[in-house]
Amino acid sequence: MVATSTLKTKSNECISELVERRYDQVCIEKELDFWDHCLTEPQTNADVTEDRSCQQLAKMFENCLSRSKKTTLHCSSVLVPEKLTRRIAREVLRLASCEPCGLRGCVLFIHLELNKGCKQLERIVYDATVVPTFELTLVFKQDGTAWPSLRDFFFMGTCFAPTFKPVLKLSPGFRLVKKKLYSSSAGTVVEEC
């Protein structure tokens, strides 16, 4: 749907046409409300809304890593490159922008790629009231170049008690895999960043 100044907002004709194409009426009305709001001040409202969504997503990724360091990763801290979560959030928003319900129709699986394989950190349903239309799998990557000889020395346990928990450093790279759920002909999109 394209928002233009000639769009007749919430006209019954417009909504019934979209409902006939199997779009959810509640989703349509919310989208029209959003575009009505954006049409009054197109640049500022859209930018503020996108920026707010980006910040919320970045915070969600940071919280996931924080929770996972104790439960799944068993480390004392996770070092995240500056603006990594923000870059990922922008990519997620970009991939969600062409979906029928946008980000609200997303199920997000968060993984960490380690030397020995992948660990699932969390599964996040962005809006539980919406039937998911696509899945995104985010794979954080471990930075394997961080002080290899010193790291090996720490893991030998010669200087520290057995309760020592290593520090995990993430790489600035990540992988996003998008899988559409509503179309049998749709393929999978893999993006390496």
State the CATH number of the domain containing residue 100: 3.90.470.40
- Does 188 or 99 have the greater pLDDT score? 99
Contact indicator for 38, 7 with CB cutoff of 8 Å: no
Contact indicator for 35, 7 with CB cutoff of 8 Å: yes
φ and ψ at residue 123, rounded to 5 degrees: -125, 125
State residue 149's pLDDT score.
Answer: 42
183 inside domain: yes
Rounded to whole angstroms, the Cα distance separating 193 from 13 reads 43
State residue 21's pLDDT score.
Answer: 55
Rounded to whole angstroms, the Cα distance separating 44 from 47 reads 5
1 inside domain: no
- Band of residue 3 on the pLDDT scale cut at 50, 70, 90: very low
Residue span of the structural domain in which 185 resides: 46-192
Asked if pLDDT for residue 12 goes beyond 80, the answer is no
Mean pLDDT of 148-176: 65
57 inside domain: yes
Rounded to whole angstroms, the Cα distance separating 192 from 133 reads 22
Q: What percentage of the chain has pLDDT greater than the value 70?
A: 58
How confident is the prediction for the chain on average, in pLDDT? Answer: 75
- Does 60 or 45 have the greater pLDDT score? 60
Please give the sequence-ordered ranges of beta strands (E in DSSP) within the chain, or none if there are none.
77-79, 106-114, 117-125, 134-142, 167-180, 188-192
Q: How many domains does the chain have?
A: 1
185 inside domain: yes
> Residue 52 CB: number of other CB atoms within 10 A?
10
Asked if pLDDT for residue 86 goes beyond 90, the answer is yes
Mean pLDDT of 80-88: 93
4 inside domain: no
- Which of 58-67, 90-99, 153-162 bottoms out in mean pLDDT, i.e. has the lowest? 153-162
Work out the angle between the directed axes of helices 25-40 and 42-71 (0-180°, nearest 10): 120
Give the number of C-alpha atoms closer than 13 A to the C-alpha of residue 156, restricted to the C-beta side: 8
Question: Which residue type sits at 168?
Answer: L
Rounded to whole angstroms, the Cα distance separating 138 from 175 reads 6
State residue 105's pLDDT score.
Answer: 92
Asked if pLDDT for residue 5 goes beyond 50, the answer is no
- Each residue's pLDDT tens digit, 95-146: 998 888 899 999 999 999 987 788 999 999 988 999 999 999 999 998 876 5
- Band of residue 162 on the pLDDT scale cut at 50, 70, 90: low
35 inside domain: no
Rounded to whole angstroms, the Cα distance separating 117 from 140 reads 12
3 inside domain: no
- Each residue's pLDDT tens digit, 29-56: 666 665 555 555 554 444 556 688 899 9
> Residue 157 CB: number of other CB atoms within 10 A?
10
